Structure formats: C-alpha cells, structure tokens
Chains A and B, each alone.
Chain A
Amino acid sequence: MTYQEAVALYPHDQVNIQVDDIVRPMTPAEYEEFIQRQVNYELSPEA
C-alpha cells in the first residue's frame, strides 16, 4: 500500500484514538504515524 493509497483508504477525519470512554480524532502527528503503519504493514500470510 502506498502512502497515497493509505490516505485515500483512511481519511484523517475517519480514524480515531480511544482512551477509555473518550474517542477523539487523531492529531496530525498521530495520523502520520498511523498512515506510515499502514504503508509499512506486511499482511500476514494467512490474512
């Protein structure tokens, strides 16, 4: 998955962070880390 594909699949306003009962939008830094995680992720063979 490319960076652009990850951003298109997961727009910033459609992913959240949860701490206990609080679900909030990601900060720009958190979103960048999230997108990089999608780019770097290797799908498991059985997934």
Chain B
Amino acid sequence: MPLTTYTAGQVLTAASLNANFAFAAAGGLTLIKTQTIGSAVASVAVTGAFSTDYDNYVVEVSASLSSTTGYLLMTIGGSAGSTYSWGASTTTFAANSADAQNNTTSWKIGQLGTTSLGAQVSLQSPFLTKYTTIQFGGTSDNAGIWGVGIDKNAASSTAFTLTPAAGTITGGTIKVFGYSNS
C-alpha cells in the first residue's frame, strides 16, 4: 500500500495511520551513519557501519578532494588479507580502459581528484559470515572507475576503511545507508 498523504479536515483512522507506519518500517534505505572527513587524512575508518540490522548497504562519499591523483581504496574490517578481487572499467573521459586484480588487499572503488571526488558503493553481506560482494563507481575531476568485486573472506565486518592509494584526502562526507531486510 502506498504512503497516504492527508489533507486538512480529513479523518485520520488508525488503519490508515498504521498502514503509513508499516510503509515507513518497510522502507528502502535508512541512514545509519554520517562521517565528515577530516583534513589531510591518509585513511578514514568508519566503525559501527554494519550490523545485524541490515544485510546490504550503500556507502556514499561526496564533496571530498585529494592531495594528488590516483585511486581510492576500500577494505572492510573483518578482512585484512589478500582476499579482495575486482574488475573495473576506467575512464579519463576521453578514453576508456579496463583494470582488474585478483586476490589483492583492497578494492579500488574510486578516483582521487585534487578539486573533486565522489564515490558510491553497494555492499552485500559485509556483516554476515559470508563472502562480501560489491558494486562500485567513483569519479574525480580527471577520471572515473566503475566495476564489481568480492572479498573472499567470510569473516563478519562492522567497519570499513577508505584509503587513498597516494597522498591524503580532505573534507567531504561519508554516508552509510542500510537496505531494509523486509
């Protein structure tokens, strides 16, 4: 049942109100955490991101910038070994190319940019004791990358870390959303 919008003078019934509550409770994305990125940081760890409340997540990085160009890397807390694999397309906006790594130490989820960078990833099952899968896309003022990957480590993670492959990042926001399990 879609969300009911009431007008002035309309009778508000319990059934209608409860239907709206049910609609909200079953809703899609819920904001779990907002993290402001500090100045000249070589890595940002976000704790308490994943839990039993949700199986699947979206992480969005916006309005940040970096000290140099390169890639933005991501790891999840429960996995510190060489179990990350991914494949991606990259672009300079003038030409595209392909990139991939198997059994490495992180996912390459975004591009660093000295005036702009943003990225969004979808993660499936980071908290569950299953392999975590990822779909990612990230863009800077000079390049972009988009692709898919997996962490072949079934350990449960509650946190993740973003690391610029070179230099530091400054400013912007990381938001973590959870998909309703219902």
Which residues of A line the B interface, CB within 8 A? 10, 14-21, 23, 26, 30, 34, 37-38, 41, 43-47
Expressed in whole angstroms, the Cα–Cα distance for A20 and B34 within the complex equals 9
Question: Are A41 and B47 CB-contacts (below 8 A) given A20-B35, A34-B42, A47-B112?
Answer: no
Contacts of A43 in B (CB 8 A): 69-70, 166
Which 6 residue pairs of A and B lie closest in terms of their CB atoms, listed nearest first?
A: A23-B38, A47-B69, A46-B92, A18-B41, A41-B166, A19-B45
Which residues of B line the A interface, CB within 8 A? 35-48, 67, 69-71, 90-92, 95, 97, 99, 111-112, 142-143, 165-168
Asked if residues B40 and A14 are in contact (CB atoms below 8 Å), the reply is yes
Expressed in whole angstroms, the Cα–Cα distance for A47 and B66 within the complex equals 12
Q: Write the nearest CB–CB distance from B11 to chain A, whole angstroms.
A: 47
Expressed in whole angstroms, the Cα–Cα distance for A28 and B165 within the complex equals 19
Expressed in whole angstroms, the Cα–Cα distance for A41 and B168 within the complex equals 13
Asked if residues B70 and A41 are in contact (CB atoms below 8 Å), the reply is yes
Expressed in whole angstroms, the Cα–Cα distance for A37 and B91 within the complex equals 24
Task: Select from chain B the residue with minimum beta-carbon distance to A22.
Answer: B38
| A23 in complex: contacting residue of B41, B111, B112, CB < 8 Å | B41
Contacts of A34 in B (CB 8 A): 42
Q: Write the nearest CB–CB distance from B114 to chain A, whole angstroms.
A: 10
Asked if residues A18 and B166 are in contact (CB atoms below 8 Å), the reply is no
| A44 in complex: contacting residue of B35, B38, B47, B71, CB < 8 Å | B71
| B90 in complex: contacting residue of A37, A38, A46, CB < 8 Å | A46
Asked if residues B38 and A38 are in contact (CB atoms below 8 Å), the reply is no
Contacts of B111 in A (CB 8 A): 44, 47
Q: A15-B41, A16-B42 are in contact. List 6 more A-B contacts (CB 8 A).
A: A15-B168, A18-B38, A26-B42, A44-B99, A46-B142, A46-B143
List 22 A–B pairs whose Cβ atoms lie within 8 Å, in order of A's numbering: A10-B167, A15-B42, A16-B40, A17-B41, A17-B42, A17-B43, A18-B37, A18-B43, A19-B47, A20-B35, A20-B45, A20-B47, A21-B36, A37-B166, A38-B167, A43-B69, A43-B70, A46-B90, A46-B143, A47-B69, A47-B112, A47-B142
